[in-house]
Amino acid sequence: MSTPRNPFPTVDIIMELEGGGIVLIRRKNFPPGWALPGGFIDYGESAEAAAVREAKEETSLDVQLAELLHVYSDPARDPRHHTISTVFIATAKGRPKGADDAAEAQVFYENTLPAPLAFDHAKILQDYFTYKRSGKRPRYNG
């Protein structure tokens, strides 16, 4: 009998700062690039608790989760493993500071996004900005 292989559950957080802008981190580890704060959900931890924890660990900011944007599950979204990410929109106050596995954290706007963006975060951010403009959430397109 073979050992089951399951996707890894993760969270990503779109952190809206008071006064505008969203927070992205520059990753210290593979894969390189800029990314939404986020990470793996620990065993025994809810997705919501993981989002709050990861936001704090990577940006030094406390967040208030506001809503769920979407769930992203393309098996190719992460080059390391098959992951399924629950993406939250959250609010935060203060100035982000990169910590944990974030080399730095900065504030960006739709027209100032850095490159390259890691994982499928360009798609997630495109969906987010579309949602903010139109109120239309991403749709399943499998």
**Would you give per-residue pLDDT tens digits along the chain (142 residues)?**
788 899 999 999 999 999 899 999 999 999 999 999 999 999 999 999 999 999 999 999 999 999 999 999 999 999 999 999 999 999 999 999 999 989 999 999 999 999 999 999 999 999 999 999 999 998 876 5
Q: Which of 45, 54, 104, 110 is catalytic?
A: 104
- Looking at residue 44, its pLDDT comes to 98
Structure tokens at 88: 């939250």
CATH of the domain at 75: 3.90.79.10
**How many domains in the chain?**
1
Which residues have a Cβ under 8 Å from the Cβ of 23 and sit 6 or more positions away? 15, 17, 37, 59, 61, 92, 96, 105, 106, 107, 108
Instruction: Note if 104 is an active site residue.
Output: yes
Q: Is 14 among the domain residues?
A: yes
pTM for the model stands at: 0.94
d(CA 79, CA 107): 26
- Given CA atoms 8, 116, 66, 58 in this order, what sign does their dihedral have? positive
Which pLDDT score, from 0 to 100, does residue 140 have?
74
- Whether 140 is in a domain gets the answer no
95: containing domain: 8-134
Flag whether 95 is in a domain: yes
Give a yes or no: residue 35 inside a domain: yes
CB 1 within 8 A of CB 74: no
Q: Is residue 87 part of a domain?
A: yes
Per-residue pLDDT tens digits for 105-115 = 999 999 999 99
Q: What is the pLDDT of residue 104?
A: 96
Is position 139 within any domain?
no
How far apart, in whole angstroms, are the C-alpha atoms of residue 82 and residue 3?
Answer: 16
**Within a domain: 110:** yes
The DSSP element (H or E) to which 96 belongs, if any, is none
